Amino acid sequence: MAWFRRESGDVEATGEKRVRTEGLWVKCEGCRQVIWKKDLDANFNVCPKCERHFRIDARQRIELLLDEGSYQLEDLNLSSSDPLKFVDVRAYSERLKKTQAETGLKDAIINAEGKLADRPVMLSAMEYSFIGGSMGAVVGEVITRAIERSVAQKKPLIIVSASGGARMMEGVVSLMQMVKITAALARLDEVKVPYISVLTDPTTGGVTASYAMLGDLNIAEPGALIGFAGPRVIEQTIRQKLPEGFQRSEFLLEHGMLDAIVHRKEMKTYIARALDFMMPSNGAKN
Ligand SMILES: [Zn+2]
């Protein structure tokens, strides 16, 4: 039996939007200018005119941070068992199959083990295009495995978040991942191995409320949406208008919720320097 029923109308994306953005030109949402797609690609998918950071996928993120040819991808075969047999406008199992076919991934995360500017690291990168980068049992397990390897091999951990939060279709099972990952991070803390959290656009909900904010260093890309509940829900609860730029990286940095905002171009160098500071014995000898 379906939990919710929609009276009429089909909300499926028609694919029309996708066709437009896959052309040679892209319109920047930041400055409204039209940019040549190749210029955007050559500039780390950052608008050359206004520095707006476009979303990139997990594979691009790994390529950006790890040294070419130095890494291997791990835990790619874990897939959700649909524990609640969840159905809304359509079955979660079907949604999973479709998204898996579109993204070539089993779930919203990729683990990679390799080197960042010659320093051995564990990296988990979230994939926003997989059901909004939502955190279900698979994301929880994959991140936990990365943490456990970090603990065993004393390799620093980097998690790049891009997520709408917990995966609704896995209900309480997805909420349990917050605890599971947090407990694993506590073990990482005990063995004194650093964890750097990179928050990208968007990082919200249960992901913000757990591992994304638990880094020894919490850094974000410029202009990223970061928050727990959405602005409208907060406004209705506190009955106040929220300030301009609320829940963007810059606002959070100003209010002490982040340690730094780092431009995508500088991210690798910044993390390498931070690791040298936090774990000098792990660093590359330059
Ligand atoms: Zn722009």
10-residue averages of pLDDT along the chain (286 residues): 63 52 84 94 95 96 98 97 95 97 98 97 98 98 98 98 97 97 98 98 96 98 95 92 93 97 98 95 62
Contacts of 86 by beta carbon, 8 Å cutoff, 6+ apart: 3, 92, 169, 170, 171
CA of 250 to the centre of ligand 1 (A): 17
**Distance from the CA of 54 to the center of ligand 1, in angstroms?**
9
Dist. CA 232 → ligand 1 center (Å): 26
This prediction's pTM: 0.90
Whole-angstrom Cα distance, residue 285 to residue 25? 43
pLDDT of residue 9: 58
CA of 18 to the centre of ligand 1 (A): 19
- In 76-169, alpha helices (H): 92-103, 137-153
36 CA to middle of ligand 1, Å?
A: 11
- φ and ψ at residue 77, rounded to 5 degrees: -100, 5
Distance, CA 47 to ligand 1 centroid (Å)?
5
**Do residues 37 and 25 make contact, with C-beta atoms less than 8 angstroms apart?**
yes
**Cross-strand bridge partners of residue 159:** 124, 197
Distance (Å) from CA 252 to ligand 1 centroid: 22
Could you give the CA distance from residue 50 to residue 244 in angstroms, rounded to a whole number?
A: 19
Between the CA of 16 and the centroid of ligand 1 the distance, in Å, is 23
Q: What is residue 23's predicted lDDT score, i.e. its pLDDT?
A: 79
Q: Distance, CA 26 to ligand 1 centroid (Å)?
A: 10
Cis peptide before 83 (omega within 30 of 0): no
Who's near 266: CB < 8 A, 6+ residues apart?
A: none
Q: How far is the CA of 207 from the centre of ligand 1 (A)?
A: 28
Task: For CA atoms 25, 29, 32, 35, give the dihedral sign.
Answer: negative
Ligand 1 centroid to residue 222 C-alpha, Å? 13
Return the pLDDT at 13: 52
